[in-house]
Structure 1
């Protein structure tokens, strides 16, 4: 399926089938009254990454989609 901003706004998580490694997804963060951010933003979560690479980062960081990501048809809702 194509990139689904509506699903993200509904609180769902998205991942691409073509990404290396399982357990990676993106989510939309909507700031609350205690946040330093003032607008919603995407972040990528690799904390559940399943890999044999012990040096692979397992973190949550802001994420900006590339044109390739936005136009890809291999997105899926994962949560």
Structure 2
């Protein structure tokens, strides 16, 4: 599939990946974020010069599960956008 074809699936909460990625088990998801806010923990408060417990609002974003099991925010590369090897993880 093309990148634009997987967007509706991401919005539905599906996991998607590229067959061209080298890492096994990698996929991306849409995180809903916290548009109404969430109480920030100490780590977030220190990073953003807030007080622990302050309301921290987060817009939706994409997140990737890396081959080593870690997770990170994700932004598609030009190669990802124009790739046609996207699939839905079952």
TM-score, L = length of structure 2:
0.69
Residue from 12, 15, 25 that aligns with 1:13: 15
Q: Distance in 1 between matches of 2:57 and 2:15?
A: 20
What displacement does 1:60 show?
Answer: 0.5
Paired residue for 2:32, among 30, 33, 57? 30
Q: After superposition, give the CA deviation of every residue in 1:2-32 in whole Å (9 maximum; x if it has no partner).
A: 1111110000011000000220000000023
Aligned residues: 70
Larger radius of gyration: 2
Higher helix share: 2
Question: 2:63 & 2:79 partners in 1: Cα distance?
Answer: 17
Unaligned runs of 5+ in 2: 40-55
Unpaired segments ≥5 residues, structure 1 = 50-56
What TM-score do the two structures reach when normalised by structure 1? Answer: 0.78
- Root-mean-square deviation (Å): 1.7
Q: Give the aligned partner of residue 50 of structure 2.
A: none
* Secondary structure of 1:34 counterpart: strand
